Amino acid sequence: MNIRREQDLFEDYLESVGMEYDSVSGLTQVFMRQNDYDVFFTDRGIEVESYAPMMGNVEFINANQLIDWLEEQ
């Protein structure tokens, strides 16, 4: 997986829908009204950690899958 390309694709989506986020290489923090997420981009895939106590970690194979999931939240 091309980590930089997947992270760029995800951040382009966030900008297009006006979501607030912060970013460093390999990590994008997404700030939403109901919940905040840390999104880690690694060679093994994409892992999302939620700040909500009842939600566990979620894993994805690419940014498109992550975007689909985020739109459902």
Print pLDDT tens along the chain (73 aa): 799 999 999 999 999 999 999 999 999 999 987 788 999 999 889 999 988 777 778 899 999 999 999 888 7
Q: What is the pTM of this model?
A: 0.84
Q: What is the pLDDT of residue 53?
A: 74
Q: Say if residues 24 and 9 touch (Cβ distance below 8 Å).
A: no
43: left (phi over 0), alpha (psi -120 to 50) or beta: alpha
Q: Which residue has the tokens 């912060």?
A: 22
Spatial CA neighbour of 27 closest among 19, 37, 18: 37
Residue 4 to residue 61: CA distance in whole angstroms: 14
